[in-house]
């Protein structure tokens, strides 16, 4: 898919599973299970999906997934599987290698979004994208480096420590645009200062929903995650942006949906839901 002067590619970087109850908050299991079947440990299948934007001067990757730094114990808990889908293989598919990436846009610093920022090379922690600038919202950086008890398990310092040491982090304050042709939207319900890139031209717009709407099943207003730090705020933020998405027929990109790369949204007067899936790249 092409928007403006960017060619867009969907980059799947891992398969993994999280607890279905945690993924759907207050929604009763008989309802969410119809959308996302659970395994015998109540986990549902998900992916990490990045968006790659390519123009003449930039090769931008939005989020980097779970990455490869996992110990067996965690790999097992989250069923992280890099066998079929991984960053390297997905980049190769589009003729790219990690050293060609110019920018890494970090929506927020949770491990399943920035785990691929860094990697171990001969037991040494190194940046996965050695020539890239890594863009991070300052408020989210502050939270990630002094998280609350509720948050602590979602942040892993080795996803950014070596980037900080090498001066590769570019701090962003607020919504101001820092990459050409990309606007930013900010939300505060899931975590503090989650950034959502919006790519648009005169004919269409696409927004990267990150954890505001991680899967198509999360489009209806009350379908939100128990991971959110301010759940009522998340509902409000969905209520604010979904009417615009429906009215202007924006494409929304799903970072964690195992089936849909992206989609369009409809409103029947009562509920928001997926109108149709959209394929970003084959
Ligand atoms: Zn998150």
Q: pLDDT tens digits for 130-185?
A: 999 999 999 999 999 999 888 888 999 999 999 999 999 999 999 999 999 999 99
Local structure of 209: helix, strand or coil = coil
Residue at 107 is within a domain: yes
Residue at 204 is within a domain: no
Q: How far does residue 179's CA lie from ligand 1's centre (Å)?
A: 22
Q: How far does residue 202's CA lie from ligand 1's centre (Å)?
A: 31
What integer pLDDT is reported at residue 257 of this predicted model?
98
Residue at 84 is within a domain: yes
Residue at 267 is within a domain: no
Distances (CA, A) of 126 to 115, 117, 156: 12, 9, 15
Q: How far does residue 212's CA lie from ligand 1's centre (Å)?
A: 8
pTM of the model: 0.96
What integer pLDDT is reported at residue 69 of this predicted model?
96
What integer pLDDT is reported at residue 186 of this predicted model?
98
Q: How far does residue 130's CA lie from ligand 1's centre (Å)?
A: 24
Q: How far does residue 191's CA lie from ligand 1's centre (Å)?
A: 7
What integer pLDDT is reported at residue 120 of this predicted model?
96
What integer pLDDT is reported at residue 149 of this predicted model?
87
What integer pLDDT is reported at residue 148 of this predicted model?
87
Residue at 239 is within a domain: no
What integer pLDDT is reported at residue 252 of this predicted model?
98
Residue at 265 is within a domain: no
Q: How far does residue 146's CA lie from ligand 1's centre (Å)?
A: 16
- Structural domain total, the chain: 1
What integer pLDDT is reported at residue 116 of this predicted model?
98
Residue at 46 is within a domain: yes
Distances (CA, A) of 119 to 47, 103, 135: 19, 17, 18
Q: How far does residue 58's CA lie from ligand 1's centre (Å)?
A: 26
What integer pLDDT is reported at residue 151 of this predicted model?
85
- The CATH number linked to 143 is 3.60.15.10
> What sign does the dihedral 13-14-15-21 (CA atoms) show?
negative
**CA 83 to CA 44: how far, in whole Å?**
18
- Supply the range of the domain harboring residue 131: 2-198
What integer pLDDT is reported at residue 14 of this predicted model?
96
Q: How far does residue 113's CA lie from ligand 1's centre (Å)?
A: 7
List Cβ<8 Å contacts ≥24 apart for 147-155: 148/229, 150/229, 151/191, 151/229, 154/110, 154/111, 154/191, 154/227, 155/109, 155/110, 155/111
Q: How far does residue 39's CA lie from ligand 1's centre (Å)?
A: 22
Residue at 167 is within a domain: yes
Q: How far does residue 93's CA lie from ligand 1's centre (Å)?
A: 27
Q: How far does residue 111's CA lie from ligand 1's centre (Å)?
A: 8
Other C-beta atoms within 10 Å of 185: how many? 18
**Residues lower than pLDDT 70 in the chain:** none
DSSP conformational letter for 5 = T
């Amino acid at each position: 898919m092409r928007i403006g002067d960017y060619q867009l590619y969907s980059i799947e970087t891992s398969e993994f599973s999280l607890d279905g109850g945690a993924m759907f908050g207050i929604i009763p299991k008989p309802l969410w299970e119809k959308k996302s079947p659970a395994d015998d440990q109540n986990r549902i299948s998900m992916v990490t999906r990045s968006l790659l934007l390519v123009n003449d001067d930039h090769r931008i990757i939005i989020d980097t997934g779970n990455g490869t730094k996992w110990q067996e114990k965690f790999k097992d808990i989250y069923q992280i599987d890099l066998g079929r889908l991984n960053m390297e293989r997905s980049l190769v598919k589009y003729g790219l290698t990690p050293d060609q990436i110019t920018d890494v846009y970090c929506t927020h610093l949770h491990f399943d979004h920035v785990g691929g920022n860094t990697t171990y090379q001969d037991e040494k922690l190194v940046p996965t994208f050695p020539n890239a600038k890594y863009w991070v919202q300052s408020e989210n950086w502050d939270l990630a480096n002094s998280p609350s008890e509720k948050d602590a398990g979602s942040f892993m310092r080795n996803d950014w420590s070596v980037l900080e040491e090498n001066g590769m982090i570019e701090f962003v304050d607020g919504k101001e645009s820092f990459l050409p042709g990309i606007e930013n939207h900010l939300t505060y319900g899931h975590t503090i200062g989650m950034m959502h890139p919006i790519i648009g031209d005169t004919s269409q717009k696409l927004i990267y929903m990150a954890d505001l709407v991680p899967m198509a099943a999360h489009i209806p207003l009350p379908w939100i995650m128990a991971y959110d730090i301010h759940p009522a705020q998340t509902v409000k933020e969905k209520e604010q942006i979904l009417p615009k998405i429906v009215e202007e027929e924006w494409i929304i990109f799903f970072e964690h949906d195992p089936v849909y790369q992206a989609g369009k949204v409809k409103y029947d007067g009562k509920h928001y839901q997926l109108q149709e899936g959209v394929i970003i790249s084959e």
